[in-house]
Amino acid sequence: MIKVGIAGASGYTGIELIRLLANHSETELSVLTSETYKGKSISDVFPSLNGIIDIELQPFDCGIFKTCDVVFLALPHTTGMDKLPQIIKSNCKVVDLSADYRLQDPNAYPKWYALTHTHPELLSQTVYGLPELHREKIKSTQVVANPGCYPTSVILALAPLMKTDWVDLNSIISDSKSGVSGAGRKLSTTTHFSEANEGVTPYGLAGHRHTPEMEQELSGLAEKPIKISFSPHLIPMSRGMLSTVYINLKKKLHEDDLIEHYQKFYSKEYFIRILSKGKFASTHHVSHSNFCDIGIKVDTRVGRLIITSALDNLVKGASGQAIQNMNIMQGFEEKLGLQSPGITP
């Protein structure tokens, strides 16, 4: 049994970590922090936890994690950048759910996050936590940078193609849609019910801060620089994410052959489900689960491949994937605490 701490426990990714870890047989929640609700019990903030988890929320202090084996940093982007170096001095393992250590190039942070990285020396020591691509490195690292939800959906959709000569890697377009929980729990005009309901809104066009994550990982797979056109949208549902990715074909390919290729590529990946011919990914089928569903269609009329990729933005797109990473780091069964199927309806 390991002791686990969560910094930022009262946010959406924090409560999702607690929900999932409550059914994890090898963990004990030890420390929960929240600046907004410090001094209150987590079950007072989230009544769904009544009688299950009643830990008092503490203000953040790096010293309180000294007794923890694993710490999840579920803090807003850039706010934990200076906290990580202090926490790792305790020799605990850390899964950072923010973007603070995802990018390997420190020069990317001023452009995409409007700040200079304060600890660039740690970037090379941090592993980008997409288990399907970096499992071996995750096993031996102290710090994992948990991927963003959009990048997870897009990278997994494209990874099997990046070392082939079947597609034009300069033609990648992703049209992605996310539920409003992806914006976090703090109040925002754009996520008020009357602002978000009954409408679909594009945002961050040609400049969303998850773009460099996708390009970094896809470039690594292709072994050459890759750029993509990424268009995110806010859609009026609580959770869920669907990416429809387009890429031009360089040769005629049959859907059956592509599906077989994807199935072989992900044959050992429990959480990746490649759909059969004529079926496409849907957020309904992965809601509240750690699965990513991928469906494939060849548009022979225009010579283009269409890949659909669906996941729950709070589970495989955040907290579930963070626990998957923790399981790998600790040598646990990778599926532990994450085997629940999606909820229907």
Active-site residues, by number, are 149
Q: How far, in Å, CA of 96 to CA of 318, rounded?
A: 10
Max Cα-Cα span within the chain: 62
- Listed in sequence order, the residues at least 6 apart from 318 whose beta carbon sits closer than 8 Å to its beta carbon are 12, 13, 16, 97, 146, 149
What are the phi and psi torsion angles at 324 (to 5°)? -55, -45
- Asked whether 222 and 169 are in contact (CB, 8 A), the reply is yes
Is 337 in contact with 290 (CB distance < 8 Å)? no
CB 210 within 8 A of CB 276: no
Cβ atoms of 152 and 240 closer than 8 Å: no
Distance CA 296, CA 273 (A): 12
Asked if residue 115 lies in contact with residue 203, where contact means CB atoms within 8 angstroms, the answer is no
Minimal CA–CA distance to 176: which of 133, 228, 218, 129? Answer: 228
Q: Which of 255, 260, 299, 301 has the alpha carbon at shortest distance from 278? A: 255
Cα–Cα distances in Å, from 106 out to 122, 123, 222?
Answer: 10, 8, 21
Tokens encoding 41: 């019990």
